[in-house]
Structures are given as structure tokens and as C-alpha cells.
Amino acid sequence: MDDLFGDDAPEGYFEDSCPSYEAYLQSFEDAEASGEALSHSDFHLLEAELEALLSLEEEFGYLLPEQLARKDQLAERLFIDPETLFDNDGDGSDYGDFDDPPFWHN
């Protein structure tokens, strides 16, 4: 990953990183995209926007055409497959059905 910047990487550039940002940098390098890579904070800002759009889509069942276009644009720019961003297991299935009695049966 360091070869993206060669010896010109700012000191401490990779210290404030995380796996998702490092994956973005690798994808950016692999795609030989033009321009500069997003900063770590800019990446997470746009990632949060994408997550918000996905949450709206899940909650309402659809997005407006402008929102769909923005979602696609963000996914392409961030090299994120929106289908894999959430594990889609937010239904609490790991905790059983809330209608079931608690596991400690009195």
C-alpha cells in the first residue's frame, strides 16, 4: 500500500488509518483512478453519507431518483458494494424472537 505514495507519503499518514480506508486506498491504486485519493476523514464522511442513504432505502423501501444516483456515485467513488456495506442482519435474529420468553425460564 505504501507504493501508492512511494517515499512521498507524509509522515504518520498511515498511522491514522483503519481497514476500510486501507481497502479504499488499495482499490484506488488498483483502479489507477485519476486524481488524488480521498483523505481518511473525507472517506469516512462520504461513507457515512452512503450508509445514511442505504438506511433510508431500507426504512422506506425506495429512494428518490436523485438519491439513487448519489448512492451509486458514492459506491463507485468509494469502491464499496452497497450490498455488502451492511450485513443485513439488523433484525435481531441473533437474540431470538422478542415474543419468545427469556432464556432463563422462571
CA pair distance 50, 54, nearest whole angstrom = 6
Q: Please report, in tens digits, the pLDDT of each residue of the chain (106 residues total).
A: 445 555 555 555 555 789 999 999 999 999 988 899 999 999 999 999 999 999 999 999 999 999 999 999 999 999 999 988 775 555 544 445 555 555 555 5
CA pair distance 56, 27, nearest whole angstrom = 27
Cβ atoms of 24 and 79 closer than 8 Å: yes
pTM of the model: 0.67
